[in-house]
A and B are shown apart, each in its own frame.
Chain A
């Protein structure tokens, strides 16, 4: 029966509908960036609320849309990727917004790492910005001190952040909940204070003139001249960012959608139950804690080569707070939720610069209101559905003879 349904959801018309929906969202997103003034923000927020409200009242429509996208996943992905690739073309006239989008991408990478810890495994980490700092300073120091190229400094930043996790290994295993929150909070403050006071990290001045990326002699600081259009230099960073986001995003999705994902969810929901079923809880916690921090460190390393200048305030507690809110507001243990969260929480505050003075006040209030009324985030955790995997396995195993029998059993 499900198949019937799927079939009715495919066809050229349906594909066009899917792409149409994507284009509309994309256009709204670009309009938000490119139209000056705050009116567009108000209009779009109202539109969004109206749409959410309407969908809430019509769950049938919602499931229909979900099924539509599921049935046309390939088209949806191709359309989405094409639009991503085209972003620099549309915002070529305002490099500032391209920069902000890159920053959002970096936060996304970091928050995917944080999500592994916080969302998937339930380990509280209030110090993501500290590990972001480790990545950034590692890359900066290596590039400045030894002139190492970006293809070394980026992984080095990630690995160093992973290694720094070892400082918290014992607390991570020995404490949970509020206590782990305090440990990581203390760690965050320790790192910022130390960065401020240590000479070899540049103290309060931080690191200046960190070389921007250049890979195989190609400097990322050059505009891309395509003849009919000149893309700002940030486009280079944008495409590299996109590549990293894709890698980290796919890895995250695959971890979630696997045996490992199930294991982590069980640790998050009930450690004791997990243990009594043979899960080596401690080992998984350390692995995920380190892996998550690697992602965060990678983002940090990229950041230092993007801006060329880093100093302690870039890595203070408020950055950690933003990252934690991205994960919780977006939706814990939901990769798409984290994507949505980082777009909203990084780009909207920039848009709110028109009300500069009240920006953080609004931020705090929105945080409170959202969490009280939608504590599970914008896109909450969804139970896994392994049927795609199972289908794939079956198709492989039983071509052509047993295929019908196999399907009949399911």
Chain B
């Protein structure tokens, strides 16, 4: 394999991971937009999504209609999106919105607490929840070659799905009435309210979308690694938040770019740097810190002058 091939192969792997990170980052950015809150529990909705899919799958198996893989996959995604979305809205009402006006440290700690609660609830409620849980192989296995690069069907499907979700979210935000409400609230909540936007409903919908998209990422992650575990949310939360910030907090395209960048950083660090494989995230986080110092508004954020 030439160096160029290696680069290409890594790019493809990086894009794969990156698209999952993007989906998580979108939630961070959306919530920050409408509520000015960083929801540190968001990573746990990613995890929750994968477990919801497992539950739905076992129901399907028990009912004996797990045969048609194509339909089952769709059922898993849609079902998990709905369930996770509902939990997302419920937690938003119970504990995220009540602290959105509080000092930043309070909202931070409350959402961290929420993350713990979700994680632990999953661990306790799911049978033998402390162990890693295998994910069913439902996507087509095998691979094809493109030159000397290997592309697995499964990865291609996951990647394609990620793109589709991003397009749908983009459509929802930019082309629908609901989306324009979300954008209006993100601009200026009070002004939006005076223009007749139902603030509470808009916030609910934002959390519904955010959690559902995180659930998609969680299931994709499950298929990709073939397993899931109750505690994968914390790290994913930090990665999603990082990606959202690299891209420019509050900007959806920024979140997508940031997620992909983070994925690429990780895979290249693993491939190129000495001791890269185990320390790839150290490198990625280092870049994040540098970003925060030298370009705190992110790639797509615009320069703001602090008003006095």
* Chain A contact residues, CB within 8 Å of chain B: 118, 124, 170-171, 174-175, 177-179, 181-183, 185-187, 189-190, 193-194, 196-197, 272, 317, 321, 324-325, 328, 332, 357-358, 360-361, 363-365, 367-368, 371-372, 375
Contact = CB atoms under 8 A, between A and B. Distances in A.
B282 A194 contact: yes
B114 A364 contact: yes
* Most B Cβ at <10 Å: residue of A175, A189, A197, A363: A189
Contacts of B116: 321, 360-361, 363-364, 367
B124 A181 contact: no
Contacts of B38: 178, 181
Given A368-B110, A372-B98, 7 more contacts: A174-B293, A175-B292, A181-B38, A186-B289, A187-B289, A317-B234, A364-B116
Contact of A364 (B99, B106, B113, B286): B113
Contacts of B249: 178
Nearest to A191: B282
B282 A190 contact: yes
Contacts of B113: 325, 363-365, 367-368, 371
Contacts of B115: 364
Contact of A193 (B241, B281, B293): B281
A293 to B, nearest CB: 17
Interface in B83-100: 95, 98-99
B245 interface: yes
Nearest to A273: B308
A118 to B, nearest CB: 7
A2 B275 CA distance: 68
A368 B245 contact: no
Given A175-B296, A186-B285, A193-B281, A328 B121 contact: no
A387 B288 CA distance: 48
A197 B275 CA distance: 9
Given A185-B238, A186-B242, A372-B95, A171 B110 contact: no
Contacts of A360: 116, 119-120
Nearest to B281: A193
Contacts of A272: 308
A202 to B, nearest CB: 15
15 contacts: A124-B104, A175-B296, A185-B241, A186-B288, A324-B109, A357-B124, A358-B124, A360-B116, A360-B119, A360-B120, A361-B120, A367-B109, A371-B110, A375-B99, A375-B102
Contacts of A175: 292-293, 296
Contacts of A179: 245, 292, 296
Interface of B: 38, 95, 98-99, 102-106, 108-110, 112-117, 119-121, 124, 234-235, 238, 241-242, 245, 249, 275, 278-279, 281-282, 285-286, 288-289, 292-293, 296, 308
A166 B216 CA distance: 40
* Most B Cβ at <10 Å: residue of A177, A272, A324, A372: A372
A182 B288 contact: yes
Chain B: interface secondary structure? helix
A182 B262 CA distance: 15
Contacts of A190: 281-282, 285-286
Given A189-B281, A197-B278, A360-B116, A182 B245 contact: yes
Contacts of A185: 238, 241
Given A189-B285, A361-B121, A371-B106, A174 B296 contact: yes
A369 B112 CA distance: 13
A386 to B, nearest CB: 26
A246 B31 CA distance: 44
A372 B117 contact: no
B292 A182 contact: yes
A182 B106 contact: no
Given A182-B292, A364-B114, A364-B116, A197 B279 contact: yes
The 4 A-B residue pairs whose C-beta atoms are closest, nearest first, are A364-B116, A367-B113, A364-B117, A361-B120
A137 to B, nearest CB: 16
A11 to B, nearest CB: 43
Contacts of B279: 193-194, 197
A178 B38 CA distance: 7
A354 to B, nearest CB: 16
B16 to A, nearest CB: 22
Contacts of B292: 171, 174-175, 179, 182-183
Nearest to B293: A174
A178 B114 contact: no
A196 B275 CA distance: 12
B98 to A, nearest CB: 5
A368 B95 contact: yes
A371 to B, nearest CB: 5
* Most A Cβ at <10 Å: residue of B109, B119, B238, B285: B109
B38 to A, nearest CB: 5
Nearest to A179: B292
Contacts of A186: 238, 242, 285-286, 288-289
Contacts of B275: 197
A178 B104 contact: yes
Nearest to A122: B105
Nearest to A276: B308
A185 B242 CA distance: 10
B296 A124 contact: no
Contacts of A193: 278-279, 281-282
A152 to B, nearest CB: 30
Nearest to B234: A317
B180 to A, nearest CB: 26
Given A124-B105, A190-B285, A364-B120, A372 B238 contact: no
